Chain A
Amino acid sequence: MLRYIIRRLLWVIVLLIIVSMVTFVIFYAFPSADPAVLRAGRSPSPALIAHIRHTLGLDQPIYVQYWRYLENIILHFNFGYSYQFSLPVTKLIFQRLPATISLTVGAVVVWLLVGLPVGMISAIRRRTVLDRATMTATLVAISAPVYWLGLMSLLLVSNDIGVVHIFDGAGTYTGLTADPGRWFGSLILPWLVLATAFAAFYARLLRSNLIETMSEDYIRTARAKGLPEREVILRHGVRSAITPIVTVLGIDIGTLLGGAVLTEYVFNIPGVGRLAYEGIINADLPVIQGTVLFGAFFIVIANLIVDVAYAFLDPRVRY
């Protein structure tokens, strides 16, 4: 197992180098806008643009630029300097990471608490009214764009612009350490909005897996042995059916830690996704590149954790 983890960690490094290369080529070799011009602002003198180009190293050959970029990341953990905010990208990302983690963790809890029971009940009560109703609801939830859902929820139930004043609205996010109560209150609505589609998807996924699993021979054997139905479902059915969900969960968590762009945007949660959005809008290339690399990092690490977790969930898996 240890050798496997070390091997995977080495692959993580290789993968991140490849990602850095691809993002560098996209954003530096073929940028959507000239970084020096963007930094210079409106109507600068040619001397100023030349100075900025030199400062940013843009007057060097591409391979030298990439090598310096990689060197800065590896040796100094330096992802560059934001044109818009005049701050190091690393500092910006770390400032915003707690909000993204808060949003992700809470949403994961919500969608697992909602999605898994709904999936199980639907599978067990297959073809009943309850099953059809929940599956229709999940279809609607999956189809609703998160930005629209966010706006609608604010217009309906936020305590500033909502029809009914229930939850804290947009722009109220407070850090956990600053005020835990306000932190929780400000995130309830974003958690619900972000979790809606995921909960629906997980419910449908678990339902289909569980239906298939419950028709397996070993389930019949378990029942024949006289095990209580509850134990048959939870110990033998769900444990097997949940394995693919763990795979998807790992990827989803990794993706969201890279930034839940739309949810952060509509609720003005100062997270990494919001930062990535601002980077894109302002063609702030170091920020775009930094957030992409961080996103990639979280995804590959989450995948690694999932693969290791497989060994514990599925006795057939050995490394």
Chain B
Amino acid sequence: MGGTLHVITAEAWEHLDPGASYFQIDYLVEYATQSPLYMFTPTSPTKPVPLLASGQPTVSPDGKTVTVHIKSGWKFSPPVNRTVTSKDVAFAFERMYNANVVNGYAAGYFPIVGAKTAPGDRPIPGISTPNNTTIVFHLTKPFAGTMVKALTLPGTSAVPANYAPLAKADKSSPSTWDSNPPSQVFTGPYMIKSYSAGRSMTLVRNPNWSRSLDGVRPAYADTIVWSAGNDPTVAARQTLASSNLLMADTPPSPVLQTAYQSHKKQLSVAPLGIYYAALNTQVPPFNNINLRKAVIAMQNRNAYLLDRGGKLVGHVATGFIYPEVPGFAQAGGNAGGGQDFVSHPGGDKTVACKYMKLAGYPNCKYTGKYGQYGSVLIVGSNASPGPQEMQTVQSGLNALGFKTTIKAVPQQTMYSKFCGYVKAHITVCPTAGWIEDFPDPYAALFIPFSGQAIVPINNSNWPLLNDPKVNAALNTDAGITNQAARLKAFAQVNKMIVNDAPAIPEVWSDNALLEGTKVKGVLDPWNDDWNLAFSATH
């Protein structure tokens, strides 16, 4: 107990306003400085534990009403100092729907009656607070099974209602509450004492936080000092050579190999997410399901793993529910659902040929038409391993007679101008990846594969899969509250998606993290990173 925890990263924070925060690195700060209603913890990585809430939520039989009771006596940090009430939680939801705050997930996970994204903080008709410790959410659809998991997101952390500086900040567009994090109000074990954008941050204890009332986070360190913006190679080597550093992002492959060889005790590994090559299901030639299956069968998926660094960084994927997501075992685990076109990671020409014939190409070579580009347009990131992955997918496609064109662009451009821009009609996006927002199969599958999630710009359903059966199943299963039934149902949805062959499953990725010799870093498996409120120095 006590001491200073030193954190080092290459990446810097984006948004530290709990209403806007939506980034892995930011979450490390949020879960140390704020208190969402519930929390997935290192010891309970798949079942939410009540944090600000006093117990598990109550769900109505129709799955359209969720009631949460919060703990009495929980206090805001200085200068507010007063007790948190349910009105403060309601205000947090109002802020998430305030367009000036710019929250990326509220509309998707909190379908509350009357909630609408628009500028300004305004009451949401579907939220009621019958007393100071009770909040009731009325939903537009039976969605409670998913929403109770999403109540772990940082946006559900109470923020002081009727607090003049916050009200003033939220009137600006964008809200300026995010501009000076030390001036924010905190409900977690730590407060942000100093902050320099992209450079450094210091967290100190929140004098109004009570360990006994929290009951979840031990908060061992007295102070947390964070240095961001470091060169990843240097930061990783500094961490290996140090006694007191905790590196919160993935080290480069060469340093990782060194760590595996001679510093294994300083290495922790958590499953990260999935990478896949999206095949556009709405334009030729891959609007033909058998062609998609042929392409997947022909691919040497071991090569994708090698492109990313080999077995040190993950496993060859066989489906779209990945190892850290509940439901992975029900979906078949590493072996997957047994579909013949994903069963051979090294590629299988015979299976590929079978599907080419079913698609109408008896010679197992594609001779048909292409879309607007005159060939299969492959667009990927120009940063490693993007170019290698594009060549891998190209090689498999050429073996089946497809003409191909490669376009390498910056990662951000790939998403915003090509793969995430529906009208661009990109045929293959081989460097797409997904990490779930919280450990639940809905969060892993809905946005990347539901037709209802397709939006014209910044679309994340890159294959543009719009299978009515998948859409319906995702909607129905989102409401299931019984965990065993839910996981079984989503495993079935995963099977349906794999059968639709919208993408080449490439890699279930692992995140390897480094720590100094005298640091006890504790991993949050769902966020694939350290949990600072659980980590300690010896």
Contact = CB atoms under 8 A, between A and B. Distances in A.
Contacts of B104: 40-44, 48
Interface residues of A, number: 45
A307 interface: no
Q: Give the secondary structure class of B's interface.
A: loop
A81 interface: yes
Interface in B415-450: 415-417, 420, 447
B456 A46 contact: yes
B238 A161 contact: yes
Interface residues of B, number: 55
Given A86-B178, A282-B412, A170 B119 contact: no
A85 B197 contact: yes
Interface stretch (B57-65, B225-233, B393-401): B225-233
A13 B2 CA distance: 56
Given A55-B173, A155-B237, A46 B99 contact: no
A259 B417 CA distance: 29
A263 B456 CA distance: 41
Given A37-B458, A84-B14, A86-B179, A151 B197 contact: no
Interface string B6-48: 0010001011010000110000000000000000000000000
Given A55-B173, A86-B179, A283-B412, A161 B234 contact: yes
Contact of B231 (A34, A265, A278, A283): A265
Nearest to A44: B104
Interface string A45-88: 11111011001000000000000000000000000011011110
A86 B15 contact: yes
Interface in A162-193: 169-171
Interface string A6-41: 000000000000000000000000001110011111
Nearest to A265: B231
A8 B223 CA distance: 53
Nearest to B105: A43
B117 A45 contact: yes
Contacts of B457: 34, 37, 46, 49
B174 A274 contact: no
Contact of A268 (B230, B413, B447): B230
Given A45-B117, A86-B174, A151-B233, A38 B412 contact: yes
Contacts of B196: 95, 270
Most chain A CB neighbours (cut-off 10 Å) among B12, B116, B178, B198: B198
Contacts of A210: none
Contacts of B235: 170-171
B38 to A, nearest CB: 21
B77 to A, nearest CB: 20
Contacts of B231: 151, 170, 265-268
A159 B68 CA distance: 53
Contact of A41 (B22, B117, B420): B22
Contacts of A48: 99, 102-104, 107, 117
Interface in A183-223: none
B215 interface: no
Given A43-B104, A44-B104, A171 B238 contact: yes
Nearest to B10: A268
A155 B174 CA distance: 43
A160 interface: yes
A29 to B, nearest CB: 14
Given A45-B117, A47-B117, A87-B197, A33 B413 contact: yes
B213 interface: no
A275 interface: yes
A274 B448 CA distance: 34
Contact of A283 (B117, B230, B237, B410): B410
Nearest to A154: B234
A170 B234 contact: yes
A39 B102 CA distance: 8
A92 B197 CA distance: 8
Contacts of A86: 15, 17, 174, 176, 178-179, 197
Contacts of A37: 415-416, 420, 457-458
Contacts of A161: 234, 237-238, 240-241
Contacts of A38: 412, 416
Interface string B233-261: 11101101110000000000000000000
Nearest to B458: A37
Given A33-B412, A41-B102, A87-B179, A160 B118 contact: no
A43 B178 contact: no
A181 B26 CA distance: 33
Contacts of B118: 47, 51
B455 interface: yes
A52 B100 CA distance: 8
A268 B229 contact: yes
Interface of B: 8, 12, 14-15, 17, 22-23, 99-100, 102-105, 107-108, 116-119, 173-174, 176, 178-179, 196-199, 227, 229-231, 233-235, 237-238, 240-242, 409-410, 412-413, 415-417, 420, 447, 453, 455-458, 460
Question: 8 shortest A-B CB distances, which residue pairs?
Answer: A41-B104, A85-B197, A51-B99, A86-B178, A33-B416, A283-B412, A33-B412, A37-B458
19 contacts: A34-B458, A37-B416, A39-B174, A43-B108, A43-B453, A44-B107, A45-B107, A48-B102, A49-B458, A51-B99, A161-B237, A169-B238, A170-B238, A171-B230, A266-B234, A270-B196, A270-B198, A274-B229, A283-B416
Given A42-B460, A43-B108, A268-B227, 8 more contacts: A33-B413, A41-B104, A46-B456, A51-B117, A55-B174, A160-B238, A274-B229, A283-B416
